[in-house]
Every structure is written in C-alpha cells, then in structure tokens.
Chain A
C-alpha cells in the first residue's frame, strides 16, 4: 500500500517538476499514438462507411474478419511487423525496425479493426435511417459515404477514442518492434514495463498515473473539440 502512495507522490513530483525524461517519453507516446490514430482513422472510417453502404460478395466475410481481428494479440502483431521490417524481411531495406515509425505501423495494424468495427456498427444504423432519403435523392456512392461520415462524426469520435485507448496502453507490439531504446523509442508503457522489471515500483506507478492522466486528458480534449452540438445548437 505504501508503494501506491509513493507512486502517487512520485507521479505528482514528476509532473510538477516537469521531469525532462518524463516529458520526452510522454511526448513520444503522444506522437506515436496520435499519428497511429490519424493513420488508422483514415483507413478504418472510410472502410466502415463502404461496408455500411455497399453490397458486395465478400462483405459479410470482411465484417466477420474485422470483428475477429479486434482481438488480435499485440505481441503477435509485433512479431509479424518485426519479421517484415527486419533486415532480412521484405521491408528491411527501409531500416524502420526499432524506430517510432515501426511502432506506429504496429499500432495502426492493431487499432484499424477496432475502429472499423465500432464505426461500422454506428454507420450501419445511420445508413438504415438515411437509406430511403439518399436513394430518392439519387446520390452517388461517394456522396453517401461522405454524408454518413459527416453526420455520424460524433459516433465515429467514440470509435476513434476506443482506438486511442487501445493504442496508448499498448506495450507488447511496440516493445518488440521499438526495442524500448532510451531517448529513441521508449514510451510510457515500455518505460513502466522496464521500471517494474527493475523493481522500481514507485517510479513505474508514477509513470502509470501519468499515463492514465494523459489518456483521460486526451479523451476529454477530443470530446470537447468534437462537440458538434452545444446547448441544442449546431
């Protein structure tokens, strides 16, 4: 129990003194996760809209696969990305292994199915509401997708936040492909794993509290920015 209080005190102290290591690790965590979130959203949201609007032969199979991939084990993703990016792998020539870019790639692979599946559920309901109107207005597929993405933006924000939550707390894959290199690929989660391994529980807890605070702050921030309706006005 004393370690918990010590952790809280240490977290408080790290934040108040703007510890340079903490700031560096936190900013790297944010940069990697937010970049992965943007890239994943650019892939997942249009994919979700296409799955809601279009009827094609492998649609059901695609949805089933996406749903199944929500539970993708991060370590396995890390392993596959590692093999692909390693010197002997097909993308080894780019020299991306043990860089933040490799961590972003792994996170994108992990959160695309999650964002796409949640977004698809929302957009499918919206499409069933809008179907008759958009058909009667003789809209093109592109116009339908654009309309659904715009009008469903609040629900899509929730999908994106779920992706952010998964990515910011992810440790297995980024440990494998990032290598937890100090001042290069170390992020909050890998730093926590390292400090725990070293037995520095107070510091690990302190970093943990910072991570939780960061996740909550970013969630609140995105919610506030994405608020489309304020006091009943749009």
Chain B
C-alpha cells in the first residue's frame, strides 16, 4: 500500500492561543518535489512539522493512506539546523538503521555507501560535531534517506549554505526524487524553488494561499499574495 495521498482536513496548530498555521486543507500525492514558499514567519516550518506528525494538532486531521504508526516509519524529516549526534559521521548515518534492529556491522556498511555518496568518507570516523554547515546538512540528508523514506520533509535545507554546498544538496535532492522519494521542502529562495520544484505551496499569514504546479505558479499566480511574493514585495 502506498503512503500517499496525504490528506489534511482543517488541520490547525496553535501555540499560546495564537494560530501558527491553519486551518489547512491539503492533498499531496504523486511524485516530485513540492516547495513550500512564503515569507519568514508565515508558518512554513509549522506546516511541515504538522504534516510529518511531530507536533500535536489543535484541530482537524492529517491522514495517510495507511495506519499512522506505519506512515511514521516510512517518512523522514531534515531540520533547518541539523542535529548532530555526539557520534562519528558513520554512526550518525547508521543510527536510523540501528533503531529498526539492523545489526551494527550491516548498518555501518550501508551507512558507508551513503557517506561515500555525500563525499565524507575521509571524515567517516571523525566526530560529526566538527563538520561544517554544508557537511552537516549533507549528513542529515543521508541519515534521513538511508531508510529509503517514501516522503521526505526538509525545512530550509540550504539556508545559510554557500553556493557549492547548495549545489551538492540540490543534486542529492534531485537524485532522491528520481529514486521515487516524494520531497516536500520549505524554502524562501525563489531561485531554488524554480530549479527544483514541480509543485508550489505558498504560505502566508498561517494559511495556504496557493497550491498548484510550479510551472503554472511561476507563469501567473492566482492570488495577490502570490503575485506580490513573486514581485519581491513584503508580505505581512
């Protein structure tokens, strides 16, 4: 049974009485990369966390095409500030496999493939906490992809990275999408959304303003917020 479609119905997230995002009605399915765009503080991160299921909803529902416990095992999340465990690079990447009972030897062997793929084999046994920002993000991506998730959420995966690191991350994302992983990523980099996205979700003021194919969105948004965002206007 496939994991998608993901269906959100009236999903709402509040903190201290303030609505962070919602009510959200959304249906995600198919293949490709969905870019969640919008100004800072619009609710992009909250939307991703809500869909991934790591925050408790205050209203509405988010359902997958399979039981929730199974759905949670088949998706992954990469945070804007990647969490580096106090372990070697190799053991960081192997960690999700160890959680599902893969033996240490096999987990490390499979992790090594990923470590080589992200160009960190020379640092495989070094502490992950001393990696640069770009290397951390690549490690976090490898750690998220090692269990072959069907859906991967990424929160600003290239924020504050230099051009080279951004290019490497984007190449990994495109490979993952080509391998069949459905990507949902937040970004406020319109260039990145143009390069990668097949679908756009525009979030502003805690609401989804637009949800349509990337080509259609960039050709002509349907809303004032969309047009303003593309023009580079400030949206409050």
Q: Which residues of A contact B (CB under 8 A)?
A: 126, 129-130, 132-133, 135-139, 143, 147, 151-152, 229, 232-234
Q: Which residues of B contact A (CB under 8 A)?
A: 52, 54, 72-73, 76-77, 79, 83, 85-88, 91, 95-96, 99, 125-127, 130
Q: Which residue of A lies closest to B72 (CB)?
A: A138
**Known contacts A136-B52, A143-B99; is-contact A234 B83 (Cβ 8 Å):** no
Chain A residues whose CB sits within 8 angstroms of the CB of B125 once the complex forms: 233-234
* A234 in complex: contacting residue of B73, B77, B126, CB < 8 Å: B126
A126, B76: Cα distance in complex, Å? 21
Q: Is the CB of B77 within 8 A of A136?
A: yes
Q: Is the CB of B83 within 8 A of A133?
A: yes
Q: Which residue of B lies closest to A126 (CB)?
A: B86
A147, B92: Cα distance in complex, Å? 11
| Interface of chain B, main secondary structure | mixed
15 new A-B contacts at CB < 8 Å, known A232-B127, A234-B91: A126-B86, A130-B83, A132-B79, A132-B83, A133-B83, A136-B76, A136-B79, A137-B95, A137-B99, A138-B72, A138-B73, A151-B85, A151-B87, A232-B126, A234-B87
Chain B residues whose CB sits within 8 angstroms of the CB of A147 once the complex forms: 85
A121, B106: Cα distance in complex, Å? 34
Can you report 27 A-B residue pairs in the complex whose CB atoms are below 8 A from each other?
A: A129-B83, A130-B83, A130-B85, A132-B79, A133-B85, A136-B52, A136-B54, A136-B79, A137-B76, A137-B95, A137-B96, A137-B99, A138-B72, A138-B73, A143-B99, A151-B85, A151-B87, A152-B86, A229-B127, A232-B127, A233-B125, A233-B127, A234-B87, A234-B88, A234-B91, A234-B125, A234-B127
A3 CB → nearest B CB, Å: 48
Q: Is the CB of B79 within 8 A of A133?
A: yes
Q: Is the CB of A151 within 8 A of B86?
A: yes
A34, B73: Cα distance in complex, Å? 43
Q: Which residue of A lies closest to B155 (CB)?
A: A132
Chain B residues whose CB sits within 8 angstroms of the CB of A133 once the complex forms: 79, 83, 85
Q: Which residue of A lies closest to B130 (CB)?
A: A232
A34 CB → nearest B CB, Å: 26
Chain A residues whose CB sits within 8 angstroms of the CB of B96 once the complex forms: 137
A51, B91: Cα distance in complex, Å? 26
Chain B residues whose CB sits within 8 angstroms of the CB of A229 once the complex forms: 127
A129, B77: Cα distance in complex, Å? 16
Chain A residues whose CB sits within 8 angstroms of the CB of B54 once the complex forms: 132, 135-136
Chain B residues whose CB sits within 8 angstroms of the CB of A132 once the complex forms: 54, 79, 83
Chain A residues whose CB sits within 8 angstroms of the CB of B95 once the complex forms: 137
A232 CB → nearest B CB, Å: 6
Q: Is the CB of A233 within 8 A of B126?
A: yes
B234 CB → nearest A CB, Å: 30
Q: Which residue of B lies closest to A134 (CB)?
A: B83
Chain A residues whose CB sits within 8 angstroms of the CB of B86 once the complex forms: 126, 151-152
Chain A residues whose CB sits within 8 angstroms of the CB of B126 once the complex forms: 232-234
Q: Which residue of A lies closest to B84 (CB)?
A: A129
A143, B85: Cα distance in complex, Å? 14
A53 CB → nearest B CB, Å: 15
A38 CB → nearest B CB, Å: 24
Q: Which residue of A lies closest to B128 (CB)?
A: A234
A136, B45: Cα distance in complex, Å? 14
Chain B residues whose CB sits within 8 angstroms of the CB of A232 once the complex forms: 126-127, 130
